Chain A
Amino acid sequence: MKGIFLLFLVPTIAFVGLAVALVAGVGFLVPWLGGHEWGAFANTAWFQALVKMLLLLLAVVMPMASLMTWMERKQSAMMQDRVGPNRAAIGGVTAWGIIHFIADAVKMIMKEDFVPAKANRLLFTLAPVMAVVPVLVIFAIVPFGSDVCVEHLGDVVTNIANCGPTATMQVARMDVGLLFYFAIASLAVYGTTLAGWASYNKWSLLGGLRASSQMMSYEVTMGMAILGAFLVYGTLEPHAIVEAQSGGLLAWGIFSQPLGALLFFTAAIAETKRTPFDTPEGESEVIGYFVEYSGMRFGMFFLAEFIEVIFLGAIMTTVFFGGYHLPGLHTDGFHFGSHHLAMPHVLVLIVQTTVWGLKIVFFCWLQLIIRWTLPRIRPDQLMKLGWKQLLPLSIANILVTAVFVLWRMGAGK
């Protein structure tokens, strides 16, 4: 029982810490930097976005991605009645094997950096970067908290719209929103394909081809599956989508778009190229597009995969699971029926960001469960599932949703 208690307690504590860092960064650091006369640049939206992006990447994404390496090993061990990593220690403290991620990083960095003799050096070097950069960039659209009333952090705020200047808990708030996600995420296919081609290795070329065909096929389903959600929310902007789900548990997207959520989740798992859709790196057939990569170059592909997993958790949270909203938590505190627990604005923000992080951790956990349960499917089964089953289902989902939305609009008149 202690273990299950810790399973929920440890991520919660970790994310309260991260939430404090994020809220402090957006609520105090960015306005404080903008208030000084250190040059016009510190007051521009560019600079603020940069600070937020660095906060998000350095405080949340990169630590989570490195911890995912440990989480994957430990969780798979737990699922298979094994022990998992438990040896690496700093001063005798093993901390359930968490120290292993440091050992992993040291190993990756210390390994020989090998480039095959006939490889295209430029593209070979470029490919891991091409794989990592898009998945980092797409975090720009993820809202990790509601808007911050910069001047009322200690007060109880009932309406954010009229409380003076606000800062956004989101790096880039743009109307294209999720289209930006699709545009950038599809760039990641270049990383895998280039890696497969530039290695001058038949196996990696096969892996790269498989990866490109798979990613292109499933992007169609992904887009189609999420279109239903666009119809329901009437917007593409993630923050607006999250705010549309603020009305309690039943307002979450999973209840208006259950099939869409399932299809999107499936297609997006295929997009991350992890089991059961890991034909591009099927260890028993073609070792993958990164056969020839070693050391930290391989580590970057590895990292990109985990960041994709985290981002998929973030996007599922944003579109289908209420984003940072906790049922019962409003901008002025908790409401339980008629009871009302007033909370200062900064506390609400911290709770919201914590909830956001815990939802992402839940989806990472769910993806790991799926990854370590299902066997790999064949490439032809993969294509069949993508084009002949998921795509028609997603189109049917759009049609039904469109008819339903139209009916409701007519009823609303």
Chain B
Amino acid sequence: MSQHVEPHEPIPPEVSVGPVGHLGARAENGFPHKTSRAKPAVSHRPETLNKTLGLGGIITGLGVTMRHFFKNVAREKPEVTINYPEEKIPYPERHRGLHRLMLRDDGAVRCVACMCCPTACPAHCITIVAEETGNGNEKRPAIFEIDELRCVVCGLCVEACPCDAIRMDTGEHAHVVDKRHNAILGKVDLMNTGIPSTAVQGGAVNWREEP
């Protein structure tokens, strides 16, 4: 097979015929590598009865399905199936679900209406109207709405939030609604699933003094 090949030499047609010993014949003529241009040797084996009726394949196939049948009868249910509404696969810990607004220790909303999240939001699904708390120069949201139909669940609002006010760790999907406006979650809806955050309000107190 490693003999030198003449590239422009035409192939004599008689070289390619004959299923027996054609390689040897070609090697003598010096064309061992030109098999792709030669006609392939066609097998003219007579079809066996087994091949004609396909009984072997049929029996193999029946064996496969029967094996699966008896395996599944012996089981309670097929092992790949999750009966969805009754059984659910637990989501990964960092799965982004429905939003929630975190609370301060006194139960007030943690959000300071800094507008970072509506700015970061690529889908423009967050609407915040700010108001003053009357406590110094602090703000809070008068209206905080998230349109869950618009939300693309990217999580950028959570990244943007400077005070751990918005999170997407509820593990819930957007709820099924029958009217579009029901998919818009207001401040109260978002706070209902919220919990007090463990982050210290206003950041660490003495961070300037720390080395």
Q: Which positions in A face B, CB cutoff 8 Å?
A: 1-4, 7, 75, 77-83, 369-370, 372-374, 385, 389
In the complex, the answer to whether B81 meets A83 with C-beta atoms within 8 Å is yes
In the complex, the answer to whether B69 meets A78 with C-beta atoms within 8 Å is yes
Q: Does B93 contact A (CB under 8 A)?
A: no
Given contacts A7-B73, A374-B58, contact A78 B66 (CB under 8 A): no
| Assembled-state Cα–Cα distance A120/B89 (Å) | 55
Identify the interface centre among B52, B73, B74, B83: most chain A CB within 10 Å of its CB: B73
| Assembled-state Cα–Cα distance A79/B79 (Å) | 13
In the complex, the answer to whether B69 meets A83 with C-beta atoms within 8 Å is no
Identify the interface centre among B64, B70, B72, B81: most chain A CB within 10 Å of its CB: B72
| Assembled-state Cα–Cα distance A221/B129 (Å) | 84
- Chain B residues within an 8 Å CB radius of A3: 72-76
Number of interface residues of B (CB under 8 A): 22
In the complex, the answer to whether A82 meets B62 with C-beta atoms within 8 Å is no
Further pairs besides A78-B69, A83-B81, A369-B62: 12, Cβ < 8 Å: A1-B74, A2-B74, A3-B72, A3-B73, A3-B74, A4-B74, A75-B69, A77-B78, A78-B68, A78-B73, A79-B69, A79-B72
Instruction: Name A's interface SS.
Output: helix
Q: Which of B61, B62, B68 contacts A80 (CB 8 A)?
A: B68
- Chain B residues within an 8 Å CB radius of A77: 78
Q: Does B34 contact A (CB under 8 A)?
A: no
Q: Does B124 contact A (CB under 8 A)?
A: no
Q: Which of B53, B65, B77 contacts A79 (CB 8 A)?
A: B65
A6 CB → nearest B CB, Å: 8
In the complex, the answer to whether B52 meets A389 with C-beta atoms within 8 Å is yes
In the complex, the answer to whether B73 meets A4 with C-beta atoms within 8 Å is yes
- Chain B residues within an 8 Å CB radius of A79: 65-66, 68-69, 72
In the complex, the answer to whether A372 meets B65 with C-beta atoms within 8 Å is yes
- Chain B residues within an 8 Å CB radius of A389: 52-53
Residue of A nearest to B83 (CB): A83
| Assembled-state Cα–Cα distance A372/B65 (Å) | 8
B67 CB → nearest A CB, Å: 9
Q: Which of A2, A82, A83, A369 contacts B65 (CB 8 A)?
A: A369
Which 8 residue pairs are nearest across A and B when measured between Cβ atoms? A3-B73, A78-B72, A81-B78, A373-B65, A79-B65, A79-B69, A78-B69, A373-B61
- Chain A residues within an 8 Å CB radius of B78: 77-78, 81-83
Residue of A nearest to B82 (CB): A83
Q: Does B42 contact A (CB under 8 A)?
A: no
- Chain A residues within an 8 Å CB radius of B77: 83
A274 CB → nearest B CB, Å: 15
Sampled A-B contacts (21; CB under 8 Å): A3-B73, A4-B70, A4-B73, A77-B78, A79-B68, A79-B69, A79-B72, A80-B68, A81-B72, A81-B80, A83-B78, A83-B81, A370-B62, A372-B65, A373-B61, A373-B64, A373-B65, A374-B58, A374-B61, A385-B53, A389-B53
